[in-house]
Chains A and B, each alone.
Chain A
Amino acid sequence: MKTIYFNKFYKSFNILSGILIIASLVFLVFKGLNFGVDFKGGTLIELRTDKSSANITKIRDSFNQMNLGDVSVKNFGNETDFVVKFEKQNSNDPQFIEEIKTKLSNSIGTVDFRRVENVGPKVSAELLRSGVIAIALSLAAMLLYIWIRFEWQFSLGAILALFHDVIITLGVFSVFSLEINLSIVAAVLTIVGYSMNDTVVIFDRVRENLRKYADVKIFELTNISINETLSRTIITSVTTLLALLSIFIFGGEILKGFSLAMILGVVFGTYSSIYIANPVLVSLKVSQRTIVKEEKE
């Protein structure tokens, strides 16, 4: 197979990644994330109307008259399905949902509530906290694992790649105001696993090649390793993406955000294994001595 000179573009892609990360952070700080009811509290109703009667404006108007705080209405999948979210949650009043249903039927005709989620402020705060802890914990666990398995230069490269993927994926969610809910946390954790997995495969090869070729500079050595593992990298990301695309397209509305986050994560994860993790090794001047010294100790 022809050798591709990935290492020629280390600098330019590092600059690109830098820009993407800064842009993501700016959006995360100033625009923030669009938290769903899981993390913000409130009520979510997925409803189905009979064909003729309803559109978004009509539904929003009828909800606005009910005094439920901030109301958002979105089409969900096909044109008869909608998701309505509002701030008020009153799960202690057993008639709360029933009353909304009655009022709604009066103004827009028959509706079927397919899904109701009602999360109190205390629970949503806890869910958010445990979500953040879960992500932090997984990052820490990865750091620990890679620190045990590799030399610190490699760990640093892998962790930077990991942060890169998570930050940019969240950045995309912020830019497009995509909803962050519990399943996105699951997606982020899986991204963390996948990104690490991808980096580890290349790093294993780099370390093996460091032993093999004493006098090849790390700049070339990373490129050799990337090329040697390239066809695996491509095949695995293709099969993973095929599976994820299948969920995204056929898996229904509920899994859309989840599979989108994963797709982004796989794309960024593959990219960062090549263009973040390896340049770190280059700039830390990793050489045969790095691993030989460690092994002697």
Chain B
Amino acid sequence: MLYFSKLRVFSVLIFTLVISYFTISNFTKVDDEFFSKNIKLGLDLQGGSYLLLEIDNGPVITQRLQSKVLEFKKFFKDKDIKVRNFVIEDKSIIFDVENSKIEDVKSLLDDDKSEINPYFQQYKSHQFNFENMDTSFKLEFSDYGLVLLKNSSLDQAIEIVRRRVDEVGTNEPNILKRGNDRILVELPGLDDPGRIKSLLGKTANLTFQFISSSSEESFGTEKLSFEDGSSEAIVSKRIVLSGDNLMDAKPTMNNQTNETVVSFSLDRVGAKKFGKATSNGVGKRLAIVLDGKIISAPEVREPIIGGNGQISGNFTFQSATDLALLLRSGALPAPLNIIEERTVGPDLGKDSINAGIMSLIIGFILVVAFMFYKYRFFGLIANLALISNLFLLVGILTLFEATLTLPGIAGIILTVGMAVDANVLIFERIKEELKNENNSIVAFDSGYTKSRTTILDANITTLIAAVILFFMGSGPIKGFSITLGVGILTTLFSVYFIARLITAYYVIKNKHKEKLI
């Protein structure tokens, strides 16, 4: 165990120096992306906001079922099968079929090549599962159908969320999928997430609908309230134009009224639709509806054909900017709920870094002093191993761009405390071996050999805990598991390569000295 080939000494040295370089690169400035790597600080250290959003897929499911009903009606009409009494209830479609065609419908729905109920070979699943009782059919999304639907609405939503966050212009936001109905948004450096939250909380479904002339709600109209809650109006359900046709929107000042407005421009299809509707509707009031609330309902004085328009509605410059941003980024497929929020102010982050570094330095000094007191020269060897261990640990974290969190710093300090264990096990074993063995080289060698399984056992147990924590933990805790786990690997390296190398040189040089350790 004490023999090292020249090649091995060389590679240990190079490896240690290269990795240690990345520890130092945290404190220096070099004009190269790779060589000036810095460790990434978690939100709890640099300050910032963590938001977990959940899609409320209920409305999407209903919407999808509605369009499916239309598809069904057309499909069966083409096949000359009479179906009736379509109802959407409890996330399923229910309809009746004429008696003679029950079997036909069944086979149409159950066929592997079904046009109306697609079959996914690799998942052995149709889009819909169905039940049949007498003449009645009940269809609901199969598990896989639901997953498909959720994934597509999540993909859309994440795109919209990204656009909105980017438009606000925070630095390096992190937007990730979580499961099939959640989005994680990390916003470093943002200590007041209020604005982003209000932007993400809006679906931003914009529609233009005419105000109905009748004062009673009837078929084809709905009652909507104004945004400011002042009054209500009966609005035609027919959508003249929706936000999908919007190309651009920005806040501007209306020169005539001196009011802040949002001006928008439409794409060609939208401009055409809008022009036609406004030509027919001169004199009527056109309601501008956002997420089921009327922003304003101006009277159409003349046809608007150019595809440009303005939305007024008692905006401040800020609220006009936000509305324009929402319209530009598009509507979310479904409402998003914020189900978890964690925000850390930048000065608390700074305080945490300082406290973390302080306790690392003090913990390190205490451990080093204690080891020197206990083992003298070999304490120095263990301490040297400990120092290179720290450099390797921080270097690897930097190199792999791991995120350092406050519990992560705690993990580094804990590694300092536990890392000496391996060297202690070895030294104690050597002491025992020296009692019955006069040749110190043999004693040192067997000290290393005999303690090896114990050291591996002891470290594997901690590594198991770290790995489980890595997979089960979130955010800051993950940071802890990373430093703890990587710390074990660097500990083993520093003990078996660095400390053993120095020990070997020392022992071979001083083999005739009494009381080596």
Distance between B104 CB and nearest chain A CB, rounded to angstroms: 44
Question: Contacting chain A: which of B90-98, B223-231, B350-358, B504-512?
Answer: B350-358
Bound together, the chains give a CA A192 to CA B409 distance in angstroms of 20
Which residue of B has the minimal Cβ distance to A194?
A: B462
B80: CB under 8 A from chain A? no
A193: CB under 8 A from chain B? yes
Q: Are A249 and B359 in contact (CB under 8 A)?
A: yes
Interface string of A130-144 (1 = CB under 8 A from B): 110110011001100
Chain B residues within 8 Å of A118, by CB? 338, 340-342
Q: Are A262 and B469 in contact (CB under 8 A)?
A: no
Chain B residues within 8 Å of A205, by CB? 454
8 Å CB contact of B477 from A46, A186, A229, A259: A186
A2-29: which residues lie under 8 A (CB-CB) from chain B? none
Which residue of A has the minimal Cβ distance to B365?
A: A246
Q: Are B461 and A92 in contact (CB under 8 A)?
A: no
Interface string of B435-461 (1 = CB under 8 A from A): 000000000000000000110011111
Q: Are A197 and B462 in contact (CB under 8 A)?
A: yes
Interface string of B172-201 (1 = CB under 8 A from A): 000000000000000000001011011001
8 Å CB contact of B197 from A91, A232, A249: A91
Q: Are B417 and A192 in contact (CB under 8 A)?
A: no
Bound together, the chains give a CA A97 to CA B197 distance in angstroms of 11
Which residue of A has the minimal Cβ distance to B49?
A: A116
8 Å CB contact of A197 from B424, B459, B468, B481: B459
Chain A residues within 8 Å of B477, by CB? 182-183, 185-186
B324: CB under 8 A from chain A? no
Question: Known contacts A116-B342, A183-B477, A239-B370: does B414 contact A145 (CB below 8 Å)?
Answer: no
Question: Known contacts A186-B481, A247-B413: does B355 contact A236 (CB below 8 Å)?
Answer: no
Chain A residues within 8 Å of B355, by CB? 250-252, 255
Q: Are B474 and A182 in contact (CB under 8 A)?
A: yes
B70: CB under 8 A from chain A? no
Question: Contacting chain B: which of A58-66, A107-115, A214-222, A277-285?
Answer: A107-115
A-side interface residues, number (CB < 8 Å): 70
Q: Are B341 and A116 in contact (CB under 8 A)?
A: yes
8 Å CB contact of B465 from A94, A138, A242, A255: A138
Chain B residues within 8 Å of A98, by CB? 192, 194
Q: Are A193 and B341 in contact (CB under 8 A)?
A: no
8 Å CB contact of B457 from A123, A141, A204, A242: A204
A210: CB under 8 A from chain B? no
Q: Are B466 and A193 in contact (CB under 8 A)?
A: yes
Distance between B254 CB and nearest chain A CB, rounded to angstroms: 28
Q: Write 10 A-B pairs (CB below 8 A) sorted by A numbering.
A: A119-B340, A120-B339, A127-B474, A138-B465, A182-B474, A186-B469, A196-B461, A204-B453, A239-B367, A240-B418
Q: Told that A138-B465, A145-B464, A255-B355 touch, could you supply 13 new A-B pairs with CB distance under 8 A?
A: A94-B201, A123-B52, A123-B339, A123-B340, A142-B465, A193-B464, A201-B458, A228-B432, A243-B416, A245-B363, A246-B413, A247-B413, A262-B414
Interface residues in chain B, defined as those with a beta carbon under 8 Å from any beta carbon in chain A: 44, 52, 54, 192, 194-195, 197-198, 201, 337-345, 347-348, 351-352, 355-356, 358-360, 362-363, 366-367, 370-371, 374, 406-407, 409-410, 413-414, 416-418, 420-421, 424-425, 428, 432, 453-454, 457-466, 468-469, 472-474, 476-477, 480-481, 484
